[in-house]
Structures are given as structure tokens and as C-alpha cells.
Amino acid sequence: MKVSARVIPPDRELKLKAGDNLRTALIEAGIPLDSPCGGQGTCLKCKVQLSGISRKYTEPEKEKLSREELDSGWHLACQVTVEEPGEVRLPEIEISRAKASFGLLGEEISLQPNVRSIHFELSKPSLKDQRADWNRLAEYLERSADKPVSTELPLLRELSTRLRE
């Protein structure tokens, strides 16, 4: 038996099979849902707010979700068995992913990743420029980003080798 589920965002109507696992069904429908534990009910990344769909809570949900979350209909998608029609609301982080993944027509989405790839070439050390690799790299990065940069010891230990690979 198929049941209707409205997924917000992207405000899409899905036909799910009663008895299906909600996390699996959403992923198969192309809804990006973070779930690093692979559906074991341990990472808590697959939280969704349900209205309908399922009224039961599994033991992992009762253990790991707060009283307020349970009272407001939050579930772990990996623990939900689809039973009836309803609505699935994705949390804010999943909303961003969904927007990016669906490229919502006409909506401009500016992505601001924390990690970026920058291609650069450093001048080689010479008799005239005997600064440490980190000093030359930091100067380059500070000039291009126009803000101070810092690093930690593990990177400093590997930097010279990596720059010469």
C-alpha cells in the first residue's frame, strides 16, 4: 500500500510504501539526509519532524531524543517505519542541503564552505630568501585573503614535505 508524504523542503509529494524505512525511502527519492551511522540510530543526524507517517517511537528514539523533541514530533528517520500519510519536515541543515541539491528554480543560493581549494605557487627558497616554508606560505595566504592566517603543529611538521610532493 502506498501512502503520500509531503516533504518540506522541497515541498514535494512522495508516494512511500507502507512498511518502508523512512530514511531509506527519502534517500531513494533523492532527498539528501545526513546519516553517518548508516541508520543505526546512534548519530542523531537524521532527525525529521513528522506529522502523521508514524506515531510510534522506537527505544533508540525514546532514549536519545529530548522530551521536547518527542512532544514536537521529532523522530530519527532511520527508526521510522512508514505507516500512514503525513508530512516530513527536514531540519535547517537538511533544508540547506535540499535547496542545494534541488537547485530550487529561481532561488539563488550562496554557498559559503568552510574549506576551499586554492592553487598557488610559492617562490623557492634562495640565498636571498631563506624564510621558513610556513612564513612564505602565510605571507602569500594573508596577502590573498587579506586577513591573518594561523596553523597548528601537525601541519607545520608536514608542510615542507607536502609542498615538495
Which residues are near ligand FES by CB under 6 A?
23, 35, 37, 39-46, 76, 78
State the DSSP string of 7-19: EETTTEEEEEETT
In whole angstroms, the minimum distance from the beta carbon of 5 to ligand FES comes to: 17
Residues in contact with 84: Cβ distance below 8 Å, sequence separation at least 6, in sequence order: 3, 18, 52, 53, 54, 55
In whole angstroms, the minimum distance from the beta carbon of 140 to ligand FES comes to: 41
Nearer to ligand FES among residue 41 and residue 86 (C-beta): 41
Nearer to ligand FES among residue 24 and residue 96 (C-beta): 24
Whether the CA torsion 36, 39, 42, 45 is positive or negative: it is positive
Nearer to ligand FES among residue 37 and residue 104 (C-beta): 37
Closest to 102 (Cα-Cα) out of 3, 2, 8 = 8
In whole angstroms, the minimum distance from the beta carbon of 112 to ligand FES comes to: 26
